[in-house]
Amino acid sequence: MTQTRVEEQLNKALPEDAISIMEQINAAGYEAFVVGGCVRDVLLGKAPSDWDITTSAKPQEIKKIFRHTIDTGIQHGTVTVLKKHGEKYTGYEVTTYRIDGEYEDARHPKEVTFTGDLSKDLERRDFTINAMAYHPKSGLIDLFGGCEDLDASLIRCVGDPMERFGEDALRMMRAIRFAAQLDATIDPVTMEAIRVLAPTIAKVSAERIQTELVKLMMSDRPADFILFYQSGLSKYFLPEYEDAMVTEQDNPHHCYTVGEHMLHATMKLNLEALAREYQGEEFLKAKRYLRLTMLLHDIAKPRNKTIDEAGIGHFKGHPQDGKNMVRDILQRLKFDNETIHMVMGLTQYHDREILSEDKAMRRAIHQLGEQYFPLIFYVKEADVLAQSDYRRQEKLDFIKGEREIYQLVRQEAQCVNLKDLAVNGADLITAGMKPGKLLGEVLQNMLQEVLDDPKKNDKEYLLKKYCSKDI
C-alpha cells in the first residue's frame, strides 16, 4: 500500500473525537497520536473497536486539559478522556509515552518510566503491525516496517523477540492468535523465541490465557491451536492435549489422532447455517460454545482407550468422562458458568446414538436448555465430517433423523421444562401444599415423569397422583 493511500484511509476513518483530543493536547504544547490496534485495523480495512491515543503529556497534564476524565491506570500513564454525545459518554484511553521497566512476573512491569520520545514508546510494543502511530499532520509513523509486514501478512516482534516475550509472556499467545485472526504467518525468529520461552506462559493468569484462547477459537483458523501445541505453550494451560495429540484411534471410523481429529472438527462447523439460526450476540455465543466443544469433545479418549482382539480401538464412556474433564479444564481457565454448562452438555451428548429416541431427546433439551439445544446437531455433524469417510453418509442421515425427532418434539410443544408443566406451584398450594423445598421436589418429580411420557402432562392426572395423599 502506498503512503498516500494509507494516510487517506486513516484520515477517513479517524473519528472527530480522536481528532479533537489530539488537537487539544497539541494546543497545550504536547504531542499526541492514535496508536496500536486502531491503526492496524484501519489499514486492514476493519472498524477499530477503540481508539487509543499516545502522548508526550503526563497524566496530570492530561487531567488539566480535559474536563471529564477517569483515572484508569495513572501509575501506568493511562487516563480515560470522556467525550459527550447527547446523554452518552465515549471513552478514549490516553497514555503517556513510556518505557516499560523490567517485568516482575511476565505480567506487570515493576515500574514504567515516562519519556518524551515517541520512538521509545513504539519500541516497547509487541509486534511491528501494532507499533504504528498516526496524526493527520505528521502522517503515519512506522519505524519498524509494520505496514510492510501487514501487506506480507507477517507477525514479527519489534526488535528482539526474546526481550518482547520476556516483558510479557502472554505476547506469545497473542502472536499465534493474531496470525490466526489475520490469516498471517509468524516470522521464524519470533516463532523460535516462542518455543524457547514457552514455559514462562505458566506465570500468566488464567483469565488472560482464556481471552487469547477464545480469540483464537473465534478466528477463521481455530485449528491453529496446533501452534500452541507445537510451540510447547499448551502444555502449560491445556496439558490434556499432550496425550490427545499422540493417541491413535485405531478404528476405521477415524483417520486422525484424537487431538488432530478435535482440531479438524473445529473447522467443520456449519457456520452459514448457524448464522441463519442465531443472530447478533446469540450467534457469537453459539459459535463460542461450538468451537470450544469441538476443541474438547473427545478429550477423555486417551484415558478411555481399549483395544479389542481384532486390534480395533474403543473409547467406552468417553462422553461422560469428557464432560467431567471439560468442567475441570474450563473451571481452571476461569470460564463463566454458562459456558461451562453448555460445553459440558454438548460434550456429553456428542456421541452418535444417544438422541435416537424422543425420551432421551426431551431429557437432553431439558438439560441443555431450549435456546441452545440445537447446537448439538452442529457438533455431531462437525464430528462426523472430521472422521474418515467410512459410512459417512449413513452417519449424516442418522443425524438428520435425530433432527426430525427434535422437530416433532418442538411441533407437538412437548413439555421439556417446568414452565411447560401442566401443574405449577400455585396449583400445588391450592391443593393444600405449603410453599417450600418439598413443593419444588414434587414439581421436579412430575417433570421427570412427563419427560419420559408427554401424555402424562395432564393437570388432573398429575395432581391426583402426587397430591392425593396427606400433604
CB-wise, 36 or 77, nearer to ligand CTP? 36
Among 31, 123, 142, 168, binds ligand CTP (CB under 6 A): 168
CB-wise, 81 or 415, nearer to ligand CTP? 81
Does 170 sit near ligand CTP (CB under 6 A)?
yes
Region near ligand CTP per CB under 6 A, out of 9-17, 84-92, 169-177, 359-367? 169-177
Number of residues counted as binding ligand CTP (CB under 6 A):
11
Q: For the CB of residue 125, give the shortest distance to ligand CTP in the complex, in Å.
A: 4
CB-wise, 180 or 262, nearer to ligand CTP? 180
Site string for ligand CTP, 50-89 (x = CB under 6 A): --x-------------------------------------
CB-wise, 170 or 365, nearer to ligand CTP? 170
* Encoded amino acid at 137, one letter: K
Provide the Cα torsion 261, 322, 332, 236; round to 10°.
-40
Q: For the CB of residue 174, give the shortest distance to ligand CTP in the complex, in Å.
A: 6
CB-wise, 124 or 305, nearer to ligand CTP? 124
Q: For the CB of residue 168, give the shortest distance to ligand CTP in the complex, in Å.
A: 4
Among 22, 81, 125, 368, binds ligand CTP (CB under 6 A): 125
Q: For the CB of residue 202, give the shortest distance to ligand CTP in the complex, in Å.
A: 17
Is residue 447 helix, strand or coil? Answer: helix
Looking up cell 486390534, which residue turns up? 311
Does 366 sit near ligand CTP (CB under 6 A)?
no
- Cα–Cα distance for residue pair 333/213, rounded to 1 Å: 10
Among 31, 36, 57, 372, binds ligand CTP (CB under 6 A): 36
Q: Give the CA distances from residue 310 to residues 206, 269, 331, 369, in Å, rounded to whole numbers and listed in that order.
A: 43, 33, 39, 41
Q: What is the DSSP string of 105-145?
A: SSSSBS-EEE-S-HHHHHHTSSBGGG--EEETTTEEE-SS-
Does 95 sit near ligand CTP (CB under 6 A)?
no
Q: Which residue is nearest to ligand CTP (CB)?
A: 37
Contact 17, 92 (CB under 8 A): yes
Contact 336, 351 (CB under 8 A): no
- Cα–Cα distance for residue pair 471/461, rounded to 1 Å: 17
Among 130, 231, 293, 304, binds ligand CTP (CB under 6 A): 130
- Cα–Cα distance for residue pair 391/253, rounded to 1 Å: 8
Q: Please, which of residues 4-33 interact with ligand CTP by CB under 6 A?
A: none
Does 184 sit near ligand CTP (CB under 6 A)?
no
Q: For the CB of residue 435, give the shortest distance to ligand CTP in the complex, in Å.
A: 49
CB-wise, 131 or 290, nearer to ligand CTP? 131
Tell me how far apart the terminal alpha carbons of the chain are, to the nearest angstrom.
79
Please list, in sequence order, all residues whose beta carbon lies within 8 angstroms of the beta carbon of residue 2, skipping any fewer than 6 positions away: none
- Cα–Cα distance for residue pair 238/335, rounded to 1 Å: 14
Region near ligand CTP per CB under 6 A, out of 126-134, 287-295, 300-308, 346-354? 126-134
- Cα–Cα distance for residue pair 436/454, rounded to 1 Å: 26
Among 171, 254, 291, 301, binds ligand CTP (CB under 6 A): 171
Region near ligand CTP per CB under 6 A, out of 76-84, 167-175, 321-329, 419-427? 167-175
Burial class (CB in 10 A: 0-12, 13-18, 19+), 159: middle
Looking up cell 450476540, which residue turns up? 281
CB-wise, 31 or 126, nearer to ligand CTP? 126
Which grid cell sits at 21? Answer: 483530543
Is residue 31 helix, strand or coil? Answer: coil
Q: For the CB of residue 81, give the shortest distance to ligand CTP in the complex, in Å.
A: 16
- Cα–Cα distance for residue pair 185/152, rounded to 1 Å: 9
Region near ligand CTP per CB under 6 A, out of 59-67, 124-132, 239-247, 305-313? 124-132
Does 212 sit near ligand CTP (CB under 6 A)?
no
Does 362 sit near ligand CTP (CB under 6 A)?
no
Does 126 sit near ligand CTP (CB under 6 A)?
yes
Q: For the CB of residue 164, give the shortest distance to ligand CTP in the complex, in Å.
A: 8
Q: For the CB of residue 236, give the shortest distance to ligand CTP in the complex, in Å.
A: 17
Burial class (CB in 10 A: 0-12, 13-18, 19+), 42: buried
- Cα–Cα distance for residue pair 371/410, rounded to 1 Å: 12
Name which of 73, 81, 142, 80 is nearest 112 in CA terms.
73
Contact 165, 197 (CB under 8 A): yes
On the CB side of 203, CA atoms within 13 Å amount to: 18
Q: Give the CA distances from residue 412 to residues 5, 371, 406, 449, in Å, rounded to whole numbers and listed in that order.
A: 59, 17, 10, 17
Residues near ligand CTP (CB under 6 A): 36-37, 52, 125-126, 130-131, 168, 170-171, 174
